Chains A and B, each alone.
Chain A
């Protein structure tokens, strides 16, 4: 019996040499590249509702129209607030340049002042308009950064019934860590559609900071689209739920939607 067990283990050892599972997994860079290669359409029009929930359960809801369009490799994103009515008209515009060394350009239109303010994009780790996602998180849109982290693919796990690559990411240096506000991330990327399904992050001091879950992923007009993002901040116990609806990739957006004039004039 003992001999059979040893022979069995030897056979398994010959068939599946040590580390072979890890070696067969794609590299972090490869996975990151695939998240970027995912089809996102040229232009996108959607309703984005943000539900902000504090630790006492008090909830504030912000409804926006979110528009995105690629101009070659450059991505432009505009968000127009629809509710609450007292901040209706607030609008945010960002130009995301393909060259990572070039800072994005960002503008915020404040209807109470009727003025458009330039916003520094260098603080990419700042939280986006009261939510639990940072400007950088918003910009990545379920892709994983190609330039900021050293990744290690550590295995396969199931999230929401789907198989995902699990990656550990550490910022390439302290400056990047401080900019992003994270000292470490753990990411779950769908092996089939190359979309982030779950993320855990730790702050610069090493404390567990946030859990992000991306769900309700389905094809819209042939393009894999997420419809819900839940972010829980473990330090503040604040929670943000992003709900995406009325997704439209087909109606081409005019270029001039992504201008300061449209921020002022509205949609």
Chain B
């Protein structure tokens, strides 16, 4: 089998702590704040764990400084902080009054709770999303008690009817209070939609909440320390790093032994579904699990060429839709038509783009159509 699609976790190597490695030079972190409003100004001194950006509408998770330092710059989408001093913010309060408050507390502590629903089936997804993104192996094996603490809090907040941890086949990971479900370790089986199908037997059921193992650890760590999590596990190449949130990708790539030169690509996440960054000064977000560095080849992977109708994408699509027709309509702005080809079933695995012999950016066309369609007002009755 193609090793690119293997989700079996690799052997655990040593962990490189970025703070210790770079202790002699002040670290500069950059935290992406897209969609949030900044709570700090240039020159302001911030403490480790201080809230620096929050959502005015109360849906997205807040962001916190992972270091004690001085704000260097506040841009539209970024806040740059230079390490200085050793201040630590006040401890957070976690009430156990009611579900709403508990989730709000989590959101203020930097955890995304948008997809968590009351009375659902809770699934902990511990399958690597892509080959090699297995930093959570260390967390499950070494910090099981922290994760159980997080799970207990979540159970109190959500009162789920059942709780399951999905693990790749061959691993002996367990979590107290959870049934274990083994997943065939082949991409895209580790994506949330496929894991939900494997566990519940239903496709995209409404009464399910999925949370990945790294996020569960962050919840546990937040509850345990009463502080927002500042350090996360990031896999760069074959090296596992413990890095503060906002560490610049350039630093991590250098520590992992990569030399990034002109026109290379640096990707937050894996090569099949990750997000490319445009500068090495881009910082990692709290939910980043891996960084992939791809050297530039002679040929571009994506071209502006027409669809030749070979049907590779249709046969490879795990959502059983027609990416070829969706991309053809989306290419010419006929976004309404894509609904007839079940665009809403797509869970963005990226396999269509990987296999397309015409090298079309199929997934990008699908995303464009989805974005344009979701902008439109809801006219029909959705309860049908």
| Real binding pair | no
Chain A residues proximal to chain B, CB less than 8 Å: none
